[in-house]
Structure 1
Amino acid sequence: MRSMTLLTLGSIGLIAVSGSTNAVAGDVRAPQVAGVATVQNDAPTFYGDVVAILQENCQVCHQPERPNLGGVVAPMSLVTYEETRRWASSIAEQVEARLMPPWHASREFRGTFVNERYLEDHEIETLVAWAESGALAGNPADAPPPLALNEVGSSDSWTIGEPDLVIPIPSYMVSDELTDDYIYQRVTISADMLPEDRWIKAVEFRAGGSYVHHIVGGVLGGTAPGYGPFYYPNNVSRTLRTGSTIRFEVHYHKESGPGTAVLDQSFAAIQFYEPGEVVKNVMRTTSLGIMDFEIPPGDPNYTDSSEFLFEEDSYIHFMNPHMHLRGKSARYVLTYPDGRQEPLLYVPQYDFGWQHNYYLNEPLFVPAGTKVTLTLWWDNSADNPTNPDPTATVTYGAPTTEEMGFGWLHWTEAEARNIVVGESLR
């Protein structure tokens, strides 16, 4: 699997994501199990074969203190043999079905994105063989050194490291009778909070729980199920200005009924560029929106599209599609001024529970006159297990049980500005 330095965004069995402050996990100890020292021929063992795969691909999230990704938290730790052995069959099922680690770009784009998550075929074979041969421990001396893991999760620390500013989003009670609730909370960035305008380097939202469908916070970006922290790539940025007001759009979705009320307290944490660092350019975001649609009852493959034309030479940095529970597939395609087409991203099996940002390894230059076409597909059939009602005619709507169709594109103008942090922003 490629190492992951940037992260993105249901019901899950295993998840793999990211963290940052260092705290060494507990020692790995050999279990006191009869016959554990008897390794059958070439059968894989935890210490000799499996733990290295888990360290590279899974433990960044599956650890004792598990990070919160848009309200999604890994349900178990996979650090020690004792913790992992009981999940051997589930691990085999998940990786063989390529549900874990979570990543939804088509395999034709392998090597395109910084934050892609893939297990090699031989790694999948090892994990499956380990489960099928009895999940043997092997010799602890064969294990690599334990990783320095990240105490985030329920602690006060953050995946991005020590933030320069933490903004509490005003708390809100989602009452018993509500299933979907949309609210807007405003926070003014006072001089006490932020004495001067700053360039944003990273933002991490900590949703109060899985009942938070999404949070959108203007210049701070947002979070949704499966999102990790947001890092501005390639030394680009936006400014947070003292005295400005951020409007947080918060969408809650939960079961209704007596005893289901929840008091939400969500947060946004921010790191800034330090004085003297250079910001190459200012990030721009374009929303390719599909809002005027009507999906017939039972339609398994409804599709629609939206376009955006670059009017100046630019660089594309990353993108992220968004639909709700009927979302099926998403595709971005570039058409250059000479008519040549280039696929930018294809998500064949969109998953509402894992809404990723897809960060390109290198910014992609597009000349003025290049067109981006976003095409989305929805499945409103009874064969879609997440479909709330296959008999409904579905139109655009904010509730999770209705539908949306967006594809965000994050880009900069091609000419670098090379702004020295600390100089006047005005």
Structure 2
Amino acid sequence: MAIRTPFVAVGILLAISAWAVAQSEPVNIPQELAAAAGLTSSEPTFTKDVLPIIQDNCQICHRPQGLNLGGMVAPMALMTYEDVKAYAVEIEMAVGSGYMPPWHAAREHIGTFENERTLTDQEIDTLLTWIANGSPRGEPGEAPQPVSFPSDTSGWAIGEPDLVVRFTEPYLVEDDVEDKYVDIDVPITLDMMPEDRWIKAVEFRPGSSAVHHIIAGSLGGIAPGHEPKIYDAGHSRRLRAGQMVTFQMHYHKEPGPGTAVSDLTEVAIIFYKPGERITHIIESESLGMFTFSIPRNDPNYAYQTEYFMEKDVNLLWLNPHMHLRGKAARYIATFPDGREEVLLDVPQYDFNWQHTYKYLKPVFLPAGTRIELTLWWDNSAGNLSNPNPNRQVRWGRPTTDEMGFGFISFIDVEPINMIVGETSPDTLFRGRAPTGARAPRREGPPGNLRTVGGFGRRQRERSPDSDAGVMRALIMSWDANEDGVISRSEVPEARRENIFDRVDNNSDGVIGAEELEAFLARLGGR
């Protein structure tokens, strides 16, 4: 979870929109039809139309002290008219391509997850039209009031923490380290926390650019794209006084002289206060796959595991996890009556955006429900983030090996009634049904893969988590004669001046791969 600049990836992915948006000529809609359809004839302005969209969807990350999503940090602020206008071209490409806001659940899940990051078609049209019209400012009096965020005052997205747990001393990730796992124990002393507490919110802050992911027991963990955890009212996990918290740290960086970094990772916690009510204890399972073996040069390898719920639960969130060859993920629930439901379909898994998909409304899974997790990997040369397509790949901790997990979190359907500071929690769990951890589970190659809408073919067209993969997609999109470069005549006319001329650094009328990479590096501030 290195502190990356997602706009480097955005930059290339951004560029796709220049193709996507430009493939069709502007359509002139008669004024009567526009009125009948409820469309406004007035041109959008920043103050009236664009700023509300930016505030609602962008500023949570694109601002000073913006949200740190597991190391993914926005490289620029979009707070003022001047900020947004300066990045109008980049915004056009990011929004037009669908890369921003980042979200990877299939479109049929729109409205399913509480934390989804999507724009409506109308919002996209407003932004693109505003940019195409020259980005007019509008009247200052029409602007909404500035939005405030908890981190503006506390420095943390969850608000002022009750406790911050950090390494007792910095950990040095030395020059020669490329990939390293290390367990760092941090005591929760009685001076820090004299009694057990119940967690309400947790936010990790990676302490260096080498941090790739963290697992820390009951505190949870993070990977690239993870957001802080704020539990629903009454939902909690217990943190025990005097316990040792083990930070399972995964560091990944380029090795070499002068690359050493010092890490001082920390995690902020907000607890339930005495007198507040706990109604549900959050439980989790990993649905891990450990026996897969991905063949050399296989572009669409699939593996499955299944998991049976032993008791009635409400499913809260899901989080698939793979490494650089990860391609797609799908969870399917088969209920005791035979009915099936796709819980989550991620057709384009992105290693840099490993979202936790939190349900807007928890999904009831009765005892006996079977959860089938299918993961796909791309071990071909077509996946340009693939470190080596010519080797067979199995489970391994390093980023250059692979993993296969489908984390789920759930609660019992029946609530408990615990008042913080008054009820002894241990008396509440005696005689309760065990978690699903003891349920039977199987894993192996799928006997009959469910294929939806040409899934495999669609995925082979791009590497979802790689700058180079998106660059390749752009080249293929505009490269009509398939000669590996883009000439000015191949670019849609409306995009030649504001896109092509900016990328064609030597003004020779042709964009090659090196020029495109240099352009995207400038966008990302590398």
Q: Same fold (TM over 0.5)?
A: yes
Rounded to whole Å, the distance in 2 between the matches of 1:294 and 1:425 is 44
In the other structure, the counterpart of 1:28 is none
Task: Give structure 1 stretches of 5+ with no counterpart.
Answer: 1-9, 17-40
Pairs within 5 Å for 1:98-109: 98-109=98-109
Shift of 1:11: 5.1
Q: Give the Cα separation in 2 of the matches to 1:57 and 1:75.
A: 16
- In the alignment, the residues of structure 2 paired with residue 156 and residue 404 of structure 1 have an alpha-carbon distance, to the nearest angstrom, of 36
Residue number in structure 2 paired with 1:317: 316
The whole-number CA distance in structure 1 between the counterparts of 2:381 and 2:5 is: 19
Asked if 1 retains the 8 angstrom alpha-carbon contact of 2:173 and 2:210, the reply is no
Structure 1 residue 185 displacement after superposition: 0.6
Amino acid at match of 1:143: A
Q: Aligned ranges for residues 324-335 of structure 1 at < 5 Å?
A: 324-335=323-334
Q: Which amino acid aligns with 1:363?
A: P
Aligned-pair CA distance for 1:383: 1.9
Worse-matched range after superposition: 194-203 or 359-368: 359-368
**CA contact 1:15–1:58 (8 Å) conserved in 2:** no
SS of equivalent residue, structure 2 residue 195: coil
Specify the alignment match of 2:157 in structure 1.
Answer: 159
Give the drift of 1:340.
1.0
Tell me the equivalent position of 1:411.
Answer: 410
Matched, 1:241 2:235: no
Give the match's secondary structure for 2:338.
coil
Q: Secondary structure at the match of 1:271?
A: strand
Residues 286-318 of structure 1: per-residue CA shift (max 9 Å, x gap): 110111111112211110011111111111111
Secondary structure of 1:204's partner? strand
User: For residue 252 of structure 2, what is the aligned residue in structure 1?
Assistant: 253
User: Which residue of structure 1 aligns with residue 199 of structure 2?
Assistant: 200
In structure 2, distance between residues paired with 1:196 and 1:214: 29
What's 2:49 paired with?
49
Paired letter, 2:163: L
TM-score (normalised: structure 2): 0.72
For residues 294 and 11 of structure 1, do their structure 2 counterparts lie closer, same or farther at Cα, with a shift above 3 Å needed? farther
Partners of 2:208 and 2:262 within 8 A in 1: no
Cα distance in 2, alignment partners of residues 191 and 175 from structure 1? 33
Q: Are the aligned partners of 2:316 and 2:409 in contact in 1 as well (CA < 8 Å)?
A: yes
Instruction: Specify the alignment match of 1:116 in structure 2.
Output: 116
Measure the CA separation in 1 of the matches of 2:334 and 2:220.
28
Cross-structure match for 2:77: 77
SS at match of 1:91: helix
For 1:146, the aligned partner's letter is P
SS of aligned partner of 1:89: helix
Preserved contact between residue 65 and residue 155 of structure 2 (Cα < 8 Å): no
Q: Secondary structure at the match of 2:287?
A: strand
Q: Which residue of 1 aligns with 2:478?
A: none
Q: Which amino acid aligns with 1:228?
A: E
Does structure 2 conserve the Cα–Cα contact (< 8 Å) formed by 1:169 and 1:268? no
Contact map agreement 2:150 2:159 (CA 8 A) in 1: no
Asked whether the equivalents of residues 66 and 74 of structure 1 are also in contact (C-alpha less than 8 Å), the reply is yes
Greater helix percent: which structure? 2
Cα displacement (A) at 1:353: 0.8
Q: Which secondary structure state, in structure 1, belongs to the residue aligned with residue 48 of structure 2?
A: helix
When structure 1 is superposed on structure 2, of 363-372 and 136-145 the one drifting more is: 136-145
Contact kept, 8 Å, 1:58 with 1:101, in 2: the verdict is yes
Asked if structure 2 preserves the Cα contact closer than 8 Å seen for 1:71 and 1:208, the reply is no
**Which residue number corresponds to residue 277 of structure 1?**
276
Q: Hey, what's the Cα distance between the residues in 2 that align with 1:338 and 1:212? A: 45
Mapped contact 1:281–1:419 kept (Cα < 8 A): no
Aligned residues of 1:313 and 1:366 also touching (Cα < 8 A): yes
Q: Percent identity?
A: 51
1:211 aligns with 2:210: yes
In 1, the alpha carbon distance for the partners of 2:44 and 2:282 equals 47
TM superposition shift of 1:381: 1.6
Contact 1:295 1:394 in 2 (8 A): yes
Which deviations, in whole Å up to 9, do the C-alpha atoms of 1:227-253 show, x marking residues without a partner? 111122352211111121111100011
Q: SS of the residue aligned with 1:68?
A: coil
Q: Match of 2:223?
A: 224
1:90 aligns with 2:90: yes
Q: Which residue of 2 aligns with 1:392?
A: 391
Give the TM-score taking structure 1 as reference length.
0.88
Partner deviation per Cα, 1:100-157 (whole Å, 9 max, x = no partner): 11111111011111111110111111212222222222322222222224545xx862
Q: Which amino acid aligns with 1:110?
A: I
For the residues of structure 2 that align with 1:60 and 1:419, how far apart are their CA atoms? 34
Aligned pairs, how many?
A: 391
Q: Do the aligned partners of 2:213 and 2:249 also contact (CA within 8 Å) in 1? A: yes
Tell me, what secondary structure is at the counterpart of 1:56? Answer: helix
The alpha carbon displacement at 1:382 in A equals 1.8
Indicate conservation of the 8 Å contact 2:302/2:376, yes or no.
Answer: yes
Looking at structure 2, the residues matched to 257 and 159 of structure 1 have their Cα atoms a distance apart, in angstroms, of: 35
SS in 2 for 1:148: coil
Task: Note if contact 1:72-1:209 (Cα within 8 Å) is conserved in structure 2.
Answer: no
In the alignment, is the contact (CA less than 8 A) between 1:237 and 1:283 conserved in 2? Answer: yes
Deviations 1:158-215 (A, max 9, x none): 1111111110124211111111111001112111011111111111100013321101
Return closer, same or farther for 1:332/1:71 CA change in 2, 3 Å cut-off.
same
CA distance 1:14–1:146, shift in 2 (3 Å): farther
Number of the residue aligned with 2:445? none
Structure 2: how far apart are the matches of 1:14 and 1:419? Answer: 48
Residue 425 of structure 2: SS of its match in structure 1? coil
SS across alignment from 2:367: coil
Kept in 1: contact 2:226–2:354 (CA 8 A): yes
Q: Would the aligned equivalents of 2:6 and 2:73 in 1 still touch at CA under 8 Å?
A: no
How far off is 1:350 after superposition? 0.8
Shift of 1:329: 0.6
- Structure-2 residue corresponding to 1:12: 6
**Aligned Cα root-mean-square deviation (Å):** 1.8
Q: Secondary structure at the match of 1:205?
A: strand
Q: Which residue of 1 aligns with 2:503?
A: none
- Structure 1: which amino acid aligns with 2:108? E
Change over 3 Å in CA distance of 1:178–1:100 after alignment to 2: same
Distance 2:135 2:331 in 1: 42
**CA distance in structure 2 between the partners assigned to 1:418 and 1:98 by the alignment:** 44
The residue aligned with 2:492 is none
Structure of greater Rg:
2
Check whether the contact 1:71–1:209 (CA below 8 A) recurs between aligned residues. no
Note if contact 1:212-1:224 (Cα within 8 Å) is conserved in structure 2: no
User: Where does residue 372 of structure 2 map in the other structure?
Assistant: 373
Q: Is the 8 A contact 2:212 2:251 kept in 1?
A: yes
For residue 215 of structure 1, give the secondary structure of its aligned residue in structure 2.
strand
2-structure distance, mates of 1:11, 1:331: 28
After superposition, the Cα gap between the structure-2 partners of 1:222 and 1:357, relative to the gap in structure 1 and judged at 3 Å, is same
| Partner residue in 1 for 2:345 | 346
Question: For the residues of structure 1 that align with 2:68 and 2:226, how far apart are their CA atoms?
Answer: 9
CA-to-partner distance for each residue in 1:70-98, whole Å, 9 max, x for gaps? 22211000010111111101111111111
* Structure 2 alignment gaps of length 5 or more: 11-40, 427-526
Contact kept? 1:115, 1:359, Cα under 8 Å: yes
